[in-house]
Amino acid sequence: MEKAEVIVVGGGATGVGILRDLSMRGVNALLIEKRDLANGASSRFHGLLHCGGRYAVKDQEAAKECIVENMILRKIGKSCVEPIGGMFVRLKEDDPDYEEQWVKGCAKSNIEATPITLEEAFAKVPRLSRNNAVSAYLVPDAAIDGFRMAWQNIDSAKRYGGRFKTYTELIKVHQKNGEVEGIRVRNYINGEEYDIFCNILINATGGWAGKVASLAGLSVGVQPDKGTLIAFNQRIADCVVNRLHKSSDGDIFVPHGSITILGTSSMSVPNPEDTATSRAEVENLLKIGERTFENLRSYRILRTFAGSRPLYIPPGGASGRGASRGFAVIDHENDGLKGMMTIVGGKFTTYRLMAEKITDKICEKLNVKEPCRTAEEPLVPEVSESEKEKAGKFFPSFGTNLAAARLGAERFSRVAEELKKNQKSRELVCECENVTLAEVEEIAKEDSCYIVNDIRRRTRIGMGTCQGTFCAFRSANVFAACGKNDMAKDTLSQMKGFLQGRYKGIRPVLFGRALRETEMLRGLYELTFNVNGGNKA
């Protein structure tokens, strides 16, 4: 019978952070996730590593945590973080009193906010609205890759014996005499159900925390709060650009690689799975966004996406933007179930700290004395410069650094070896993100890859300019060739499933150039490949 001392439910940033922390402290731990890692709010956000400025007025505790964690994540997750810096810009319609409070708040929260002249601001961010900007500050914001962060936490945990199962959904909590005994899970891919025993069960499911708690007959106040974002196909600015005003919709731009993400909105939704977006939401974001960048509508939109913030509502508390972005650890022993805890609320930037806090509590219960070391040790060993230089001969143009950041040292050296000995493996599966056949094969072969979309989240295929136009076909074929199971071999369904996922985010922006790109995509898949047909009448 399968067993673990601690089972962590939820493969978002918090869950993987807990698994890593527990494993590093020598606790036998298993993480289960009902889909793939970082499938909820941990990837469905703007990818901003906050400096804390956004909270400097309302919640200085949160602001302080942000800046401390920001510095830690830069250090331990070098290849997940783009240390591009950020700017806060007040526009003419924004309250000048708020600016004053904000400057004080930053000072109190230890956030270095450096005032710059407008000329300096325009020099740094040339497309910033000259008509609307009135003052600007530089802050230590950064961009962060949520998918990569999650996988690197897993890689780190695995080195210490941590285990994980994706596509494994919790369906029942077994209890005896007011104590957790184990859980029943269902494999999403093949429907198989089985039990896993444990002493401690951690609910780290974000927006789903209320649902998971209810499986154990408990109640946790979580309000899923939908945030919608737009990805543009250009780097609109070279640093993060925030509106300097009371936090609102559409006021943060975060550049990532060759794209920019604009977000977010805030809308209470009954179901955290509700990630559909509409024309009205897009229009709302553009309308606000174009105050900061006046020619925003001339940029090509790649797609939209949405995620649900897990806002914790203590009995009688506020929801929406009024709710605290702080987090809470709830020990359900107080509710009559020993061995179960829920962690909820918080934000991506402070995921490590949240994991540390709850792991401290777990260790206390288990009488484990090991201290937390997650703030000191890097998530994965870095690829050395000499290794990169050697591999550079076989990688396409600028692809070496990108692949090194995506793969980490171990996988990188295997991929480089493959590229060296096999010319065919050098071909690009994804031209937009510079992903070679060798890299796709390396990831596709891993046990945790069940569908082509899993390869996407780990390699970035299909996330660039063409949104899967070419790589959907290629990756489905490469994946089928790995021959894992009948589902993988059904190339037509894999391609369609992959493209349907991309289309969901494109649908609300099916105008202008996104529409044109979509017509090309349809021409290829409907006509050239006829993926829907095939059968004779």
Partner 1 sequence: MTSTIVIGSGFAGLTAALFCAERGQKVTLLTHGAGTLPLNSGVIDVLGYDETRVRVVSPREGLKKLSANHPYNKIGIATVEKAITHFLATAEKYGFPYCGNLDKQIDVPTPAGTLKPTCLSPKSLDATDVSGKVTVVVVKELKDFYGEIIAANLKKFLPQTTDYNIVTFDSGLTGGRDITTLDVARLLDTKEGRDRFIAQMLPHAKDTTFITPQILGATNGECAEYIESKLNTRVIETTCLPPSVNGLRLRNMLLGALQSLKVKIVEDTTVLRAERQNGKCIAVVAKAAAREKRYTADRFILATGGIYGGGVILPKFEEPKEPIFDLPVWFIPGEENHSNEEFFSDKPQGFAQMGIMTDENLLPVDKNGNRILDNVYIVGRNLAGFDFCFEHSGNGVALSSAYKVATI
Site string for partner 1, 509-528 (x = CB under 8 A): -xxx--xx--xx-xxxxxxx
Residue 334 binds partner 1, judged by CB under 8 A: no
Residue 295 binds partner 1, judged by CB under 8 A: no
CA distance 311 to 346: 8
Position among 100, 273, 370, 427 found at the interface with partner 1 (CB under 8 A): 427
The interface region with partner 1, picked from 138-146, 188-196, 351-359, 492-500 by CB under 8 A, is 492-500
Position among 240, 428, 438, 451 found at the interface with partner 1 (CB under 8 A): 428
Q: Which is nearer to partner 1, 219 or 500 (CB)?
A: 500
Site string for partner 1, 387-426 (x = CB under 8 A): ------------------------------------xx--
Round the CA-based radius of gyration of the chain to a whole number and report it: 23
Residue 189 binds partner 1, judged by CB under 8 A: no
Residue 110 binds partner 1, judged by CB under 8 A: no
Residue 485 binds partner 1, judged by CB under 8 A: no
Are the C-beta atoms of residues 180 and 35 closer than 8 Å to each other? no
CA torsion angle 125 131 137 142 (round to 10): -40
User: 3-state DSSP call for residue 135?
Assistant: strand
Residue 238 binds partner 1, judged by CB under 8 A: no
CA distance 350 to 48: 12
The interface region with partner 1, picked from 39-47, 191-199, 236-244, 503-511 by CB under 8 A, is 503-511
Residue 499 binds partner 1, judged by CB under 8 A: yes
Burial of 515: CB neighbours in 10 Å, binned 0-12, 13-18, 19+: exposed
Are the C-beta atoms of residues 221 and 312 closer than 8 Å to each other? yes
Position among 92, 130, 279, 373 found at the interface with partner 1 (CB under 8 A): 279
Q: C-alpha angle 264/266/270, rounded to 5°?
A: 130
Is residue 349 reached through a cis peptide bond, with omega within 30 degrees of 0 on the bond before it?
A: no
Residue 270 binds partner 1, judged by CB under 8 A: no
User: 3-state DSSP call for residue 130?
Assistant: coil
Q: Which residue in 456, 506, 509, 512 sits closest to 479, CA to CA?
A: 456
Are the C-beta atoms of residues 119 and 218 closer than 8 Å to each other? no
Q: Which is nearer to partner 1, 370 or 427 (CB)?
A: 427
Are the C-beta atoms of residues 452 and 497 closer than 8 Å to each other? yes
Residue 188 binds partner 1, judged by CB under 8 A: no
Minimum separation from the CB atom of position 518 to partner 1 (A): 8
Position among 477, 482, 484, 487 found at the interface with partner 1 (CB under 8 A): 477
Residues that bind partner 1 in the complex, under the rule CB under 8 A: 278-279, 423-424, 427-428, 470, 473-474, 477, 480-481, 489, 491-492, 495-496, 499-500, 503, 507, 510-512, 515-516, 519-520, 522-537
